[in-house]
Amino acid sequence: MDAIVKNILANSTELGEVEKPSREEAEAAVETLLRWIGEDPAREGLLDTPKRVVKAYEELYAGYEMDPDEELCRTFEQVSGYSGAVTIRDIPFFSHCEHHMVPIIGKAHVSYLPDGKVVGLSKIARVVDIFAKRLQTQESMTAQVSNSITEALQPKGVAVVIEAEHMCMSMRGIKKHGSVTVTSSFTGEYENNTDEQLKFMASIGKS
């Protein structure tokens, strides 16, 4: 086993957390993978690849450094009596499968029924982005988005539908390019009121 991996595992806590390695250790791990696939990290085109990969990971997995509750903490109660659904559809996202660390590419549709307070529309998209920028399963991400909005806004109901293509199915394994996975979460009125659920599904173009 690579010495760096041994060092990381040795630093695991009782809670299952792992001490974050240094940037140099992360770059060395990328170099190890390059050698493992049969590449020469010293060739011209790969000289700076470990640095570039680590920098890219900082962006792709920035969700670990972000708190969805902070995005949803500022709410507004002056809604002029509006009580209908607030729906944001077709929110694009990129995530990574926690099983193979390959991309998940999709879009999220999110709706909530306000109970006296609303949040800025961009905040909903940011919450989707925060959870997407972590290693994920689509099922978990769907529940996480729903739970965050429920806890922050205490609305009458929340609906989340996520549609995504998983590269672990398209690029490897069964290799079924173009297949789309759909997950959904309905709470409150969206779970108990068929009319509200149907209106939401119609608003995102689903029968």
Find the domain containing 154 and state its range.
73-203
Q: What is the pLDDT of residues 112-169, one digit of tens each?
A: 999 988 999 999 999 999 999 999 999 999 999 999 999 999 999 999 999 999 998 8
Q: Answer whether residue 67 is part of any domain.
A: no
Number of domains in the chain: 2
User: What is the average pLDDT value for the chain, to the nearest integer?
Assistant: 90
The answer to whether the CB of 119 falls within 8 A of the CB of 153 is yes
Residue 16: what pLDDT? 52
Q: Answer whether residue 133 is part of any domain.
A: yes
Domain boundary among 19, 37, 60: 60
Using the structure block, give the residue that is written with the tokens 């806890």. Answer: 151
CATH number for the domain harbouring residue 50: 1.10.286.10
**Does 122 lie in the same domain as 31?**
no
**Does 115 lie in the same domain as 52?**
no
**Does 180 lie in the same domain as 90?**
yes
Q: What is the pLDDT of residues 163-201, one digit of tens each?
A: 999 998 888 877 778 889 999 999 999 999 999 999 999
Q: Is 176 strand, coil or helix?
A: coil
User: Given CA atoms 13, 71, 156, 192 in this order, what sign does their dihedral have?
Assistant: negative
The answer to whether the CB of 182 falls within 8 A of the CB of 163 is yes
Q: Is pLDDT of 5 > 60?
A: no
Q: Is pLDDT of 17 > 90?
A: no
DSSP, residue by residue, 165-202: EEHHHHTSTT--TT--EEEEEEEEHHHH-HHHHHHHHH
